[in-house]
Structure 1
Amino acid sequence: MSIKEAVTEAQTATATATTRYVGQSVARLDGPAKTTGQARFAAEHSYPDLAYAALVYSTIARGRIIAIDTTEARGVQGVVTVLTHQNAPAMSPPGKMSLLRPSSMAVSASVNYLATDEVHWNGQPVAVVVAETPETARYAASLVRPAYEQFPAVVDFAAAIPDAVPDKGIPLLAGPADKGNAVAALAAAPVSVDLEFSTPQHNHNAIEPHATTAVWNGDQLTVHEGSQHISGLRAHLAKRFGVPEEAIRVLSPFVGGGFGAKTRPWAGTLLAVLAARVTGRPIRLALSREGVYHTVGGRTASTQRVALGASRDGRLTAIVHSSVSRTGRVGGMAEPITEVTQHLYAAPNIQLSQRVVQLDLLSNTFMRAPGEAIGSFGVESAMDELAWKLGRDPIELRMINEPDRDPVGGQPFTHRMLREAFTLGAERFGWQDRDPRAASMRDGRWLVGMGVATAYRGSMAMPAAVTVRLQADGTVVVLCGLHEMGMGAPTVQAQVAADQMGVRLEAVRIEYGDSELPRSAGAFGSAQTASVTASLLAACTKLKKSVLTLARRLPDSPLKGVKLGEVDARDGGLYHQGGGLRYTDILAAAGRDQVEAAHKTNMPAFVAKTVRDLRFRSRSASGAHFCEVRVDADTGEIRVSRWLGVFDVGTVLNARTASSQLRGGIIWGIGMALEEQTLIDPRTGRIVNPSLSEYHIPVHADIPHIDVHYLNEADPTMPLGLLGLGEIGITGAAAAVANAIRHATGKRVLDLPITLDKVL
């Protein structure tokens, strides 16, 4: 076909309007694979001669192994080997965390598993059994007999609080704050509240428990692993096993939930890889639910003091927020609990401080909205209690104290629409029908209460690399090692690519979940979508420029002399007011099978921008929770009966997946408020409820219809105007429940979870 014929056909086929996918409700592209069973997760990859591994867990909190009898276990038919500290080759030690060493960011604990006789927590793996079947491996593991010398251990968080020390802080997060003189202002305030809150330890319960399939081929390692941070896992394994990163391939296309737990590799991953190297066979190690509790960290327990001083007209004069959280003696990071209070309310005097205790427990780790999830429970409950003391509407009190700049740092907000969120939410929820008196609303035997709380989560971006390839058939292929944990990450990137390249969504293919692809940002910190989108936009621009260059060189091209800014990518090609060409015709005429372009974040520029952002502007997602509860006046049973969340999360790329993520965060917040708690024996450090039969999470019958609305207003400083929304839903949710219970019953519950005995 000549260029003239191609131009004529393209003009005839051109639609009158350009289809745009960003913002539409698009079903997940991986939905069919998951619903039909075609998707294979980490423990579903088979290899010839595959063997199975099971862990043996310590039964003491601190001490050392003085003997370990593996005779009976080795005698079981089908057992391949039993690895202990007596015969396992040592891995390289993990080293300390450093922002300058990417592999160190994946360190979950300082323990060098099976290279020491030391025990650091109750549940630490002390042996690995490898067998021909998983049943044999588990049975033989039960026959391993360690003997210990026990050392004194500190495992009781509440008892250890007096020994807490100041938290050193987390890089790139706000630390302590001391603006004005909050202590004096609190003492002088005409009206004040001073409350002590506590939250328990929480453990992860992703639908896919942690699992690893590891295969060595000489010094080449392939790992199938559910990961939120493929590049970090790869770098960490390279260090621990003494091979170049290029020798390791991590495959993680499908992850059955992560929520922070799969950001770092834990003992199961390392020991599966170690067992594969020792035996020379492919190894599969799939943790039981109890095994996850023993070897994968969760959220720290906490205590908080929130004290607020105000004038009689409701204006805050003082905010004091202090906290205590815990780490493990062998790892973990202090929870940034007061981070949320840095940004919520205007006050001339603000004091924020955090302390931490080290316990002989497994390292704590990231769990959806670390810091903000539990910090917002304290500060938003305290604001509600101040409203009761002042006799003011809790929404009105928040709006009186809504700042026009960041309260501590003074930076201007890039985007903040909390007033609009609360106004819209109040109208949609029927807040005007709320009787402001406590325990005044009833429906038969049920006491009815309505509560609100602010949602807040800082917004950020991280480095990411993307390659975009245009193929001769007009297909656009996006290559990026991004992570899909059920939130629809490949789907939204396909939407962005389709819009940018002007092709139908069906013509876009996303290749992801593979360490051999360009390196993505991790799927944590609500940052992956913004990070990848920024690089995808840049790569698409480069690609269109390259294709336009080809088109301009063609004889009789309608795009000769046309600049990129004058071209519209649509209908599968590049068009200008004087005409245009399809991609397929451009590549065919140029004799090209494909054209591709890549973009990689410039690290010095990224670091400079991040520092500048922190110093000169404040960026976040925010929102308003509205909750209605019913409390049985006789039994204290609590039911959440209605929920509305209105969120300011910038541009929404996919209406369907965004609503799903926001609802998921709210459901987790309801569970945090009413059900979730890890129970630890204060004598032994043993988790006594390590299963879903005893660790309670919400089920379908616990959750009402959740109405989610978002303002869909772009943040001008972010790619496509989007802000992260993966974690915002849980922030403030527990406080909204507690505040609704306060309205229903007149009782302020300060300790989570809010069980019926606390309201009777």
Structure 2
Amino acid sequence: MTQAPPAAVDTAGVLGRPVDRVDGTAKTSGAVRFSTDYPYPDLAHAALVCATVARGRIISIDTAAATALPGVLAVLTHENAPTMNPPRAVTLLDLSTMAASSTVNVLNTDEVHWDGQPVAVAVATSPEAAAEAAALVRVDYQASPSAVDFDAALPDAVEQKNSMLAPAGGSKGDAERALAEAAVSVDLRFTTPGHNHNALEPHGTTAAWVGDELTVHDGTQSIEWTRRHLAHRFGVPVSNVRVIAPFVGGGFGGKARVWPGTVLAVLAARATGRPVRLLLTREAVYRTVGGRTPSVQRVALGATASGRLTALVHTSTTLTGRAGGSPEQVVSQSRHLYAAKHMLLRQSQVTLDLLPNTSMRAPGEAIGTYALEAAIDELAHRLDLDPVELRLRNEPERDPLDGKRFSHRRLRAALEVGAARFGWAGRSPDPRSMRDGRWLVGWGVAAAYHPSWQLPAALTLRLSADGSVVLRSALHEMGMGTATAQAQIVAHELGVPFESVRVEHGDSALPSGPPAGGSAQTASLAAAVLSVCAELRGAVHALARRSGSPLGRRPLAGLAARDGGLFGPDGGETYVEVLTRAGRAHLDASVGGGSRLRRFADQARFMTRLALDGRRWVRAASGAHFCEVRVDPDTGEVRVSRWVGVFDIGTVVNAKTAASQLRGGIVMGLGLALGEHTLVDPRTGRIMNANLSEYHVPVHADVPELDVSFLDDPDPTMPLGVLGAGEVGITGVGGAVANAVFHATGRRVYDLPITLDKLL
């Protein structure tokens, strides 16, 4: 996909400016295509049949009535589906193995591993016929004993092991003893429920085979991983698979892996010899796409009478599916946020016969910050100390757990600036002491925290003699304005007008971009852009030297963006003039990707850098949330009426898109705090509210104006100083709301979501 910036944009100081998204007009006019919008001749449609037992085996499957329907082309089951290769085991030597959502070779087995696992797919000439056929398939099961009750399984939890990508715990000193000896302490138990993904665009795939060559349109957050996963599953060379995803209607982690619907769309296309489209219903998303695990957490804090932390204990238990799933780094932020002398951090998990869980915006930290920040607030209450002041008194100079340096940390400033913007000094400290008419008014504060990542990225850059610049990379545009931000970085680095930069993206035929996850895409691409711009400047300089251009007599180090771009330095020759003098139509530069050997080298460098940085730095985005709620004392109704968030996300590339990302995180956090709850039947493992009628997400009436600002202070250890904005916004939101509710009502809620029955 190509996106060209709008014309007539001032190029002065392009980095950080609130430039409108280059895809804004196309999206709002309906001109862009998502994964199920692509037309194909003879297109067929598919619908899933999902298992209704949590564990067992299929003993019979009757498709006669389904196949007899007019328009039905095939009903694929484990009895007639083409053979696929099973998913590969995950290895850090090949990060694309992380694309597998489960270990199950769906439709190549008669075994059932969770309620909702696809056991058949109906293919027809229309989506209506496919859905009707799927409803007519009759399946008999031999059920096996299953474990599906999270609460009942807690005694069987196993301690989670540390890994390079997800530290599971740690300790310092004797936290339990320090807790027992503390002058003031809290020891609290918190729970959070499971959450399900509800992106605006449901998961959908359009797949077409031509011989052994496959084209897939898929709403994915990881184009290259999806490509390699499908090549392995269907036994074709990676070069034979093309994945196209120029636009994705929201991902939030739910589209980072390849779920059964994608694989089965490709399988159906191969089996029928026709292009196939499979768009999941909302219910099918709940049944076949994983979400956030529930958690049980203990947070215990000990402090001196003056509020200095002496002990911090944070433990958690979460779940993974027996057929796959991702451990949650629930205690991650508790390693770094507060300066406690003694610490004990531990994560445990239980394995259940449920749909594999997966990443969901700020996995681990979103729910971990709720418990930690609510416990800090409770400690402040017992100390009779202002909650902001307690946080400031325990702000560490170095990492509290292991003494590593912070690469960059401005949390103190975020708290102080946020308190001033919110008017925190006007807060009455006693619960139930602030009112507005019949409403109880409460103010709450919480810290935000999310680690920063940088992943390998490949791209090419072309400078043409007509003054245009084209950046090509299979980067992902899920609504966050990635193409706009990268165009700004290119314009900044080359000193060219923003309107002259075009970004081509969202296609595996382009150099492989990083997955869009972990708030890492902007920084990862920025690193590659900085490198390729330097390479291009060097190529121009060499060309100028060979052609006798005045530019070639200047030192390469002097060709910074401010004095060597298309406009050229005063009295100097521009890049375009150099190309014209040399008779060149364009000049290309590239970084990353290419051969298999080069790809492995890129990954080896990534793993080495990850290990070295882990020993050297603690690197993260952070921030402070300030929340006002109003609670009806008679009904328990909670309304969030005011919000201020101040964030340290490093360099702000685009003030408008960054603010939008943070606001989106806050809105999603309001859902986590006040409504979202996946209800699983503890007897059967079936999700009981697999729809948007009974699974409550925030609507416009639930969201006040969100005052979001940045410190805009670069991290010197990150490319361009970027830390990431996608996920830090949701962290701490649950805690801020819970703390405001306590201040309003005097009632501490330990179990999310905060519903009115818990306040009456």
Q: Tell whether the structures are fold-level matches, with TM greater than 0.5.
A: yes
Q: Deviations along 1:674-727, whole A, 9 cap, x unmatched? A: 000001111111111111111100000110000001100111111111111100
| Count of paired positions | 743
- Contact conserved, 1:102 with 1:235, CA < 8 A, in 2? no
Q: Distance in 2 between matches of 1:712 and 1:653?
A: 9
- Contact conserved, 2:445 with 2:736, CA < 8 A, in 1? yes
Q: Which residue does 1:716 correspond to in 2? A: 716
Q: CA deviation at 1:85?
A: 0.5
2:417 counterpart SS class: helix
Q: Which residue does 2:412 correspond to in 1? A: 419
Which sits farther off after the overlay, 470-479 or 562-571?
Answer: 562-571
- Contact conserved, 1:492 with 1:653, CA < 8 A, in 2? yes
- Contact conserved, 1:474 with 1:572, CA < 8 A, in 2? no
Match of 1:86 among 79, 92, 116: 79
Q: Deviations along 1:627-682, whole A, 9 cap, x unmatched? A: 00000011110000000000011110000000000000011111100000001111
1:387 matched to 2:380? yes
Match of 1:240 among 207, 218, 233: 233
Q: CA deviation at 1:471?
A: 1.4
Q: Deviations along 1:272-330, whole A, 9 cap, x unmatched? A: 00011111110000000001000000000000000001111111111111110000010
Q: Distance in 2 between matches of 1:335 and 1:620?
A: 17
1:561 matched to 2:558? no
1:39 counterpart SS class: coil
Q: Which residue does 1:620 correspond to in 2? A: 620
Q: CA deviation at 1:417?
A: 0.8
Q: 1:441-520 to 2 correspondence within 5 Å?
A: 441-520=434-513
Query: Which letter does structure 2 place at the counterpart of 1:583?
Result: Y
Q: Which residue does 2:287 correspond to in 1? A: 294
Q: Distance in 2 between matches of 1:658 and 1:170?
A: 30
Q: What TM-score results when the alignment is normalised by the length of structure 2?
A: 0.96
Q: CA deviation at 1:171?
A: 3.2
1:221 matched to 2:214? yes
Match of 1:47 among 40, 65, 77: 40
Q: Which residue does 1:10 correspond to in 2? A: none
Q: Deviations along 1:17-64, whole A, 9 cap, x unmatched? A: 972211000011011111111100000011111100100011111111
Relative to 1, partners in 2 of residues 1:697 and 1:170: Cα closer, same or farther, differing over 3 Å?
farther
Q: Which residue does 1:335 correspond to in 2? A: 328
Q: Which residue does 1:320 correspond to in 2? A: 313
- Contact conserved, 2:678 with 2:687, CA < 8 A, in 1? yes
Q: Deviations along 1:228-255, whole A, 9 cap, x unmatched? A: 1111101111111111111100000000
Q: CA deviation at 1:578?
A: 6.7
Q: Distance in 2 between matches of 1:504 and 1:495?
A: 9
Q: Distance in 1 between matches of 2:498 and 2:570?
A: 26
- Contact conserved, 2:566 with 2:574, CA < 8 A, in 1? yes
Q: Deviations along 1:103-142, whole A, 9 cap, x unmatched? A: 3211100110111111111111000100000000000100
Q: Distance in 1 between matches of 2:580 and 2:142?
A: 75
Q: CA deviation at 1:571?
A: 8.8
Aligned residues with identical type, % of pairs: 59
- Contact conserved, 1:503 with 1:571, CA < 8 A, in 2? no
Q: Distance in 2 between matches of 1:571 and 1:131?
A: 61
1:732 matched to 2:732? yes
Query: Which letter does structure 1 place at the counterpart of 2:249?
Result: G
1:532 matched to 2:525? yes
1:440 matched to 2:430? no
Query: Which letter does structure 2 place at the counterpart of 1:604?
Result: A
Query: Which letter does structure 2 place at the counterpart of 1:293?
Result: Y
Which sits farther off after the overlay, 204-213 or 542-551?
Answer: 542-551
Q: Distance in 1 between matches of 2:165 and 2:724?
A: 17
Q: Which residue does 1:74 correspond to in 2? A: 67
Q: CA deviation at 1:576?
A: 6.9
| Gaps in structure 1 of 5+ consecutive residues | 1-16
Match of 1:161 among 154, 166, 169: 154
Q: 1:630-645 to 2 correspondence within 5 Å?
A: 630-645=630-645
Match of 2:579 among 547, 572, 587: 587
Which sits farther off after the overlay, 730-739 or 598-607?
Answer: 598-607
Q: Distance in 1 between matches of 2:570 and 2:247?
A: 46
1:701 matched to 2:701? yes
1:265 matched to 2:258? yes
Q: Deviations along 1:710-752, whole A, 9 cap, x unmatched? A: 1001111111111111000000000000000010000100000
Q: Which residue does 2:49 correspond to in 1? A: 56
Q: CA deviation at 1:609?
A: 1.8
Q: CA deviation at 1:606?
A: 2.8
Q: CA deviation at 1:144?
A: 0.2
Q: Distance in 2 between matches of 1:568 and 1:481?
A: 27
Which sits farther off after the overlay, 215-224 or 152-161?
Answer: 152-161
- Contact conserved, 1:621 with 1:650, CA < 8 A, in 2? yes
Relative to 1, partners in 2 of residues 1:195 and 1:711: Cα closer, same or farther, differing over 3 Å?
same
Q: Distance in 2 between matches of 1:534 and 1:568?
A: 16
Q: Which residue does 2:195 correspond to in 1? A: 202
- Contact conserved, 2:296 with 2:317, CA < 8 A, in 1? yes
- Contact conserved, 1:642 with 1:705, CA < 8 A, in 2? yes
Query: Which letter does structure 1 place at the counterpart of 2:551?
Result: L
Q: 1:346-361 to 2 correspondence within 5 Å?
A: 346-361=339-354
Q: Which residue does 2:598 correspond to in 1? A: none
- Contact conserved, 1:318 with 1:347, CA < 8 A, in 2? yes
Which sits farther off after the overlay, 207-216 or 100-109?
Answer: 100-109
Q: Deviations along 1:132-182, whole A, 9 cap, x unmatched? A: 000000001000000011111111111111111111244322222111000
Q: Which residue does 1:65 correspond to in 2? A: 58
- Contact conserved, 2:15 with 2:654, CA < 8 A, in 1? yes
- Contact conserved, 1:558 with 1:578, CA < 8 A, in 2? no
Q: Distance in 2 between matches of 1:571 and 1:256?
A: 40
Q: Deviations along 1:594-640, whole A, 9 cap, x unmatched? A: 10101128433332221111011111100000000000011110000
1:108 matched to 2:101? yes
Relative to 1, partners in 2 of residues 1:352 and 1:476: Cα closer, same or farther, differing over 3 Å?
same
Query: Which letter does structure 1 place at the counterpart of 2:202?
Result: P
Relative to 1, partners in 2 of residues 1:338 and 1:480: Cα closer, same or farther, differing over 3 Å?
same
Q: CA deviation at 1:506?
A: 1.1
- Contact conserved, 2:164 with 2:611, CA < 8 A, in 1? no
- Contact conserved, 1:504 with 1:572, CA < 8 A, in 2? no
- Contact conserved, 2:543 with 2:552, CA < 8 A, in 1? no
Q: Deviations along 1:570-594, whole A, 9 cap, x unmatched? A: 5994677672223332222211111
Relative to 1, partners in 2 of residues 1:573 and 1:395: Cα closer, same or farther, differing over 3 Å?
closer
1:246 counterpart SS class: helix
Q: Deviations along 1:197-232, whole A, 9 cap, x unmatched? A: 000000000000000000111110000001111111
Q: Distance in 1 between matches of 2:474 and 2:517?
A: 14
Q: Which residue does 2:117 correspond to in 1? A: 124
- Contact conserved, 1:302 with 1:324, CA < 8 A, in 2? yes
Match of 1:372 among 365, 376, 380: 365
Q: Distance in 1 between matches of 2:603 and 2:49?
A: 42
Q: Which residue does 2:7 correspond to in 1? A: none
Q: Distance in 2 between matches of 1:578 and 1:495?
A: 23
Q: Distance in 1 between matches of 2:461 and 2:94?
A: 28
- Contact conserved, 1:373 with 1:730, CA < 8 A, in 2? yes
Q: Distance in 2 between matches of 1:720 and 1:98?
A: 30
Q: CA deviation at 1:544?
A: 1.3
Query: Which letter does structure 2 place at the counterpart of 1:240?
Result: R
Q: Distance in 1 between matches of 2:735 and 2:719?
A: 32
Relative to 1, partners in 2 of residues 1:104 and 1:605: Cα closer, same or farther, differing over 3 Å?
closer
Q: What TM-score results when the alignment is normalised by the length of structure 1?
A: 0.96
Relative to 1, partners in 2 of residues 1:395 and 1:578: Cα closer, same or farther, differing over 3 Å?
closer
